[in-house]
């Protein structure tokens, strides 16, 4: 039965690769033949070529560094902050009751409406972007932390009392490992949302960074550079997400979750 499932998984993977590959191939042909004008979409091979050229140019490094460091800081802040806040909300029922409706509505608010405000408060520069991305990503971590801690089975806590664990030991040795799968999906979301927050912010309002470079290339009808950078961002984000996903899968397989 397990073997059968693995085989089915494999088959789906192959079909998926084939579908994606033929989509790229079809686009390539459509562009080469001229069905799709180069002013709209350029051929995938041209995108890759442009990407290599762009990465070799000197000016891209600074933008890259700015974007990635902003993402890294936002990621760190949102994961740590989100965990701590989620933990406090889990332990203090009053706060939790009070904040629940806002947590539920949080992702309904278009955050970018508040972006100008952040610029006014934090000035132009990387700070408002980092704050924006952190605020955007943190709530996912808060919600995941609360969900994880809520779902720790009561019987495990009883077991902790049977072994007379102190509160800290109980948290460290029972609650956190039991909540780990939820925490990890929170981390996964925080990673994705940090990228989205930073790049979207750069795109709309910044004067530097990868997001801005894409918008700038669009404004200047520089399609090769634009597609190269889009491809680059999507590749980086997808790699990052896949790495987290793979780690999660490994953990889940072991725990049979």
| Choice between 33 and 40, CB closer to other proteins | 40
- Least Cα distance to 152 among 138, 136, 173, 133 occurs for 173
At closest approach, how far in Å is the CB of 115 from other proteins? 8
Which lies closer to other proteins via its Cβ, residue 35 or residue 102?
102
Q: Cα(225)–Cα(34) distance, rounded to whole angstroms?
A: 20
Residue in 235, 216, 234, 236 with CA at minimum distance from that of residue 226:
216
Q: How many residues does the chain have?
A: 257
125: contact with other proteins by CB under 8 A:
no
3-class SS of residue 39: coil
Interface with other proteins in residues 31-50 (CB under 8 A): 39-41
Tokens at residue 232, please? 């680059």
Contact 134/190 with Cβ under 8 angstroms?
no
Of 179-238, which residues contact other proteins (CB under 8 A)? 180, 188-189, 192, 195-196, 199-200, 203-205, 211, 214-215, 217-218, 223, 226-227, 229-230, 233-234, 237-238
Kindly identify the residues of this chain, within the stretch 79-108, that bind other proteins according to CB under 8 A: 94, 97-102, 104-105, 107-108
Q: By CB under 8 A, is residue 243 in contact with other proteins?
A: no
Closest approach of Cβ 76 to other proteins, in Å?
Answer: 18
């Amino acid at each position: 039965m397990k073997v059968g499932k693995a085989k089915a998984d494999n088959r789906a993977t192959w079909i998926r690769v084939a579908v994606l590959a033929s989509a790229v191939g079809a686009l390539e042909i459509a562009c080469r033949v001229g069905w799709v004008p180069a002013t709209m979409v350029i051929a995938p091979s041209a995108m890759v070529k442009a990407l290599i050229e762009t990465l070799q140019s000197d000016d891209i490094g600074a933008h890259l560094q700015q974007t990635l460091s902003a993402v890294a800081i936002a990621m760190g802040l949102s994961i740590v902050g989100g965990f701590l806040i989620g933990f406090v909300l889990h332990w203090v029922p009053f706060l939790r009751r009070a904040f629940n409706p806002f947590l539920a509505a949080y992702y309904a608010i278009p955050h970018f409406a508040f972006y100008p405000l952040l610029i006014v408060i934090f000035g132009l520069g990387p700070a408002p972007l980092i704050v924006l991305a952190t605020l955007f990503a943190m709530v996912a971590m808060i919600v995941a932390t609360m969900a994880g801690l809520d779902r720790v089975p009561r019987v495990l806590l009883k077991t902790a009392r049977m072994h007379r664990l102190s509160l800290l030991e109980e948290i460290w040795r029972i609650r956190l490992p039991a909540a780990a799968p939820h925490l990890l999906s929170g981390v996964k979301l925080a990673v994705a949302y940090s990228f989205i927050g930073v790049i979207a912010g750069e795109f709309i309002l910044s004067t530097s960074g990868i997001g801005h470079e894409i918008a700038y290339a669009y404004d200047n009808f520089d399609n090769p550079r634009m597609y190269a950078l889009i491809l680059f961002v999507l590749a980086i984000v997808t790699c990052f997400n896949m790495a987290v996903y793979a780690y999660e899968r490994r953990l889940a397989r072991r725990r049979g979750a």
